[in-house]
Amino acid sequence: MATSEAVRNHIKPGIVGRPNIVLPPLSDFTASKPTRLLTKIHGKWYDLTKFEKRHPGGPVALGLARGRDATVMFESHHPFTNRKILDAILMKYEIDASDSKHLQTLEQLHGVPEHSFEWPSAFGEALKFQVKEYFEGESKRRNISLREATKASPSRWVEIAILAVLFLSTFHGFFRGDWRFLLLFPLTAWLLGVNIFHDATHFAFSDNWRWNALIPYAFPYFSSPFSWYHQHNIGHHSYPNVSDRDPDVLHHYWMKREHRDVKWLPIHKNQSTWWFMLFWWSVSVEFGLTTMQDLWMLQTNLYNEVVPMMAISGSRRLRHILGRVLTIGIIHAWPFFVVETWGKAFAFSLIPYLFFSVLFMMNTQINHLLPHTTHAADADWYKHQVITAQDFGVGSKFCHLFSGGLNYQVIHHLFPTVNHCHLPQLQPIVARLCEKYDVGYTTARGYVHAIQLHHQHSSRLATKIEHAD
């Protein structure tokens, strides 16, 4: 997808072909959160202020729609809700066209190009119908509500409890500087975090929104929930691989090129090597996801230049910065007060988080950044989710547990509010309907195959004119 004219007008010649960001005035940094929750869905404006506290998914989920075009989030977060009920609720809060003609979305205010999908979708309706039938069966079998049936099952809670015990059991050895726990601690931190943080931030862990809102703050080493919602929920999940809307194809584009719409630079030649990929994977989480990207968003009010940040007060911005500084500080400073030698202190300060970063990247980069998915696109949102992602290790319990369900990426993108414990059961439904509607659903055999495909993608984009797919 070519960069839009609105963005192209702001390009600074000789850089990388992305918008030339102009820092907003100081007043934008100290403005309080808007008192009204206005959002735009399917071209109409709604004032959901009075509905915010009554929203079944909680105010955090609804708050992501504040001030922006929330059409995709609205559709993807209500796959099983009766459409007549949804329309009736929206109708109550609709703003008259004459009163909303002056309103602008955050995207419009920041010059982020509009991008819309075609609704409704015959393929999407078939998917929702058959998946809903599955959960209706689960609901009846367990004697619970349909919504509760889509969240973590009792067996999932048991798995989480076991992973939590394993993680806690490594604390003593790690924090007294026992070499045996140098890698074991970040490994168990990854296993517990990926199996709960991701679902919680998608409001898929529990039908009680408070659990979903609180749990992410127990895993600050993953990311700030505030920035994660912008990068992952609002940006990536709504517009995967759309170059002027998905922040995941723009991470540090001056060092790594993930999309052909990003201008090629000589430094990108390095990404064709395996050593560069290992280096990149080692530093990306802390120096990218949890630090630089976060601070850049706070400076520009945009995440990776394509996701407008929701308005927050100056004090909230300061608390956010202090929270990140404290988190990163604790992660790296504690060994220098505990272990006996400088060399060992540096090892425990750096190696665990570098290893954790590799685990994070090897499970997240192999799902969308591939030769056959990166530049795929479709006007049908549901088809777009399928052809811009791939599943790997289908049927493998190891891949499912070790990736926290990320190996069922296609199904997860189609139904983000469904807990990943259900995705193996939904995979045959999705695969069957993709075949029926002639939608290109692809899988990789496992980790090795998926990593090889990702490296092929990186190698192709390392050249000024990438090879044809």
User: 294 near 324, Cβ under 8 Å?
Assistant: yes
The better pLDDT of the pair 113, 48 is held by 48
Tens digits of per-residue pLDDT, 342-399? 999 999 999 999 999 999 999 999 999 999 999 999 999 999 999 999 999 999 999 9
CA distances from 404 to 15, 147, 400, 421 (A): 37, 21, 6, 9
39 backbone φψ class: left, alpha, beta (φ>0; ψ -120 to 50):
beta
User: 321 near 285, Cβ under 8 Å?
Assistant: no
3-class state of residue 106 by DSSP: helix
Query: Which has the minimum average pLDDT: 9-23, 163-177, 185-199, 373-387?
Result: 9-23
pLDDT band at residue 25, thresholds of 50, 70 and 90?
Answer: very low
Structure tokens at 101: 């003609």
pLDDT band at residue 324, thresholds of 50, 70 and 90?
Answer: confident
d(CA 400, CA 421): 9
Task: Give me the pLDDT at residue 187, please.
Answer: 98
Give per-residue burial for 394-415: e unless 16+ CB within 10 Å, then b: bebeebbebbbbbbbbbbbbbb
Percent of the chain with pLDDT over 90: 80
The better pLDDT of the pair 57, 1 is held by 57
Flag whether pLDDT at 26 surpasses 80: no
pTM of the model: 0.91
- Count CA within 13 A, CB hemisphere, residue 147: 11
User: 39 near 48, Cβ under 8 Å?
Assistant: yes
- Of 238, 221, 267, nearest in space to 462 by CA: 267
Flag whether pLDDT at 308 surpasses 50: yes
Dihedral (CA of 377, 383, 387, 391) sign: positive
Task: Give me the pLDDT at residue 3, please.
Answer: 36
Flag whether pLDDT at 39 surpasses 80: yes
Angle at 253 between CA 248 and CA 259, to 5 degrees: 60
Tokens 């560069």 -> residue: 276
The better pLDDT of the pair 32, 260 is held by 260
Domains of the chain, first to last = 34-109 (3.10.120.10)
pLDDT band at residue 117, thresholds of 50, 70 and 90?
Answer: very high
Task: Give me the pLDDT at residue 314, please.
Answer: 83
Backbone phi and psi for residue 417, each to the nearest 5 degrees, phi listed first: -90, 5
d(CA 202, CA 420): 10
Tokens 């195959």 -> residue: 449
Query: Which has the minimum average pLDDT: 4-18, 30-44, 302-316?
Result: 4-18
- On average, the pLDDT of the chain sits at 90
Task: Give me the pLDDT at residue 455, please.
Answer: 97
| Beta-ladder partners of 19 | 11
Flag whether pLDDT at 13 surpasses 60: no
Cβ within 8 Å of residue 109, ≥6 positions away: 308
d(CA 421, CA 202): 14
